[in-house]
A = this chain, B = another copy of it.
Amino acid sequence: MQATFNASASIIGLSDTQPKKVDRPRRGRPSKQSINVDTKELLIRSGLEHLTEYGFTASGIDAVLKRAGVPKGSFYYYFSSKEAFGKELIASYDTFFANKLDIHLLDERYPPLERLQRYVLDAQKTMKKFNFKRGCLIGNLGQEVDSLPESYRNILVDVFLGWQQRVEVCLSLAQERGQISTNADCSQLAEYFWIGWEGAVSRAKLTKSLEPLKCFFTHFMLGLSFQNKSYGD
């Protein structure tokens, strides 16, 4: 499963996909040196925009194509099915998102817990930027997993595990520095973080407000302090 990193990374870096045919390859076999991933990347990007907003079931191929300015016939040249398309979107999103987490959680300029907070602030900024229309692709698909191909289930679980491990590492660092008690289970805490955070993102989409994100994170951090004070030796 090769993620098309450029396409996915662009979802937050750039403005919305415009339905322009400019710069897309012309009909016919292209020259050998011209790298023509443009159309495929455009479809992935458009797909990410749609699916983070509407989920899988409610997102039609036609809408994805229209947004990208790509004709329908091209779709099944690049992807064997909507299911396969979705898997590439997941991989792409995961690559982009895990990278984003790493950028924040491995940033040694800040203490571990502040890194987590910086990620949270980043996410808040992003949600606001898109007027709370775009949520988390993995959260969306997780919610509707029973309407999806069964093969998606394990993929989604694994993606969450990857994110969870990153947070766990960050929390363990905080633990080493004595900011969380040595008795606390950082793996459990990281799971707890993602469970609640996804709930918060969903609620933020619903209420079109940052408040749920702030509410969750505030109390999550308070909970961490408790782990520290009550279990510390």
Which A residues lie at the B interface, using CB under 8 A?
53-55, 57-58, 133, 135, 139-140, 142-147, 153, 156-157, 160, 188-189, 191-192, 194-200, 202-203, 205-207, 212, 215-216, 219, 222-223, 225-227, 229-230
Contacts and interface: CB of A to CB of B under 8 A. Distances in A.
A216 B223 CA distance: 12
A192 B223 CA distance: 12
Q: What's the dominant secondary structure at chain A's contact region?
A: helix
Given A133-B146, A198-B199, A200-B195, A153 B57 contact: no
Given A215-B188, A219-B192, A143 B226 contact: no
B226 A212 contact: no
A127 to B, nearest CB: 13
A28 to B, nearest CB: 38
Contacts of A212: 191, 195
A203 B196 CA distance: 10
21 contacts: A54-B146, A55-B143, A133-B146, A135-B143, A140-B144, A142-B206, A153-B206, A160-B203, A160-B206, A191-B212, A192-B215, A195-B196, A195-B212, A195-B215, A197-B199, A198-B203, A199-B199, A199-B202, A222-B223, A225-B230, A226-B229
